[in-house]
Amino acid sequence: MEESQARESLGLSVIIITKNEAQNIAACLESVRFATEVIVLDSGSTDGTQEIARNLGAQVHVTEDWPGFGNQKNRALDFATQPWVLSIDADERVTPELREEIITILRAPGLDAYNIARLSEFCGKPIRHSGWWPDYVLRLFRRGACRFNDAAVHERIEPGNCSVGQLNFWLLHYPFENLEMLVAKINRYSSEAARVMAAKGKKSGVFCALGHCIWTFIRIYVLKHGFLDGRHGAVLAMAAAFGSFLRYSKLMFLNQSKRAGRVK
């Protein structure tokens, strides 16, 4: 009873969007049990994600379409009822230290929103360079004060005129269990990014794609000190460079198809 009353008095909604996150969702939900309510907005999982989330006490809502990450997270936000909102992804975990910091902040909040660092792991190794750390993201905010932009990928919260602070502790992030997952995400995200760029009228060619590829590798491996992450850093830099090459190559062929009248 005391734990339930503590959750109620905290006034915190946690929002999570999912699709086929059965391997992640249980650990994610366990890490946010301190919240007043947990809302999962699922876009058609077929692997039991919805059932796992319901069994762990989350409010589960389902959408049939996919409007992009930004709009989907705003849909989840619209289900929240508490004064404060914490947005996390299924592959993220709130550490005990971060949990206690959030609870302390919400007892006497002085600002409207807070950035939280993420410590990401790749193939079993925490990545502390390569542009991956501290990777601050705005995730804790007063409901009604902020919303996500409508970006199809790489969405973020628009703070507007909100006062924004920074928490001391961090989320744990497990984006890629193996290299196959990284490659699949690069392929998926590069396709979406190319479509967004094409819709904005951006152009590309072979040398443009190659230039972005080379610059991305230099930026991550050298300027962002990816070499300090050892072989993991080298793989991440090469993967990011390949993703950039794919993005601009796909843009080139999308524009070609448009000119030929094959894409509307």
pLDDT in tens, 213-256: 999 999 999 999 999 999 999 999 999 999 999 999 999 999 99
> Are 50 and 83 found together in one domain?
yes
For the segment 96-111, what is each residue's pLDDT rounded down to a tens digit?
A: 999 999 999 999 999 9
> Are 80 and 100 found together in one domain?
yes
Buried b (16+ CB within 10 A) or exposed e, 210-235: eebbeebbebbbeebebeebeebbbb
Task: Tell me the pairing of strands 164-176 and 113-122.
Answer: parallel
66 pLDDT band, cuts 50/70/90, is very high
Start-end of H helices in 11-155:
22-30, 49-55, 69-79, 96-107
> Are 132 and 185 found together in one domain?
no
> Are 75 and 36 found together in one domain?
yes
Q: Within a 10 A sphere around the Cβ of 202, how many other Cβ atoms?
A: 14
Which residue among 160, 176, 192 closes a domain? 176
Which residue among 154, 176, 198 closes a domain? 176
> Are 188 and 145 found together in one domain?
no
Instruction: Give pTM, 2 decimals.
Output: 0.86
Burial degree of 237 (CB within 10 A; 0-12, 13-18, 19+): buried
Cα–Cα dist 45/42, whole Å: 7
How is residue 72 written in tokens? Answer: 């989907």
Count the domains in the chain. Answer: 2
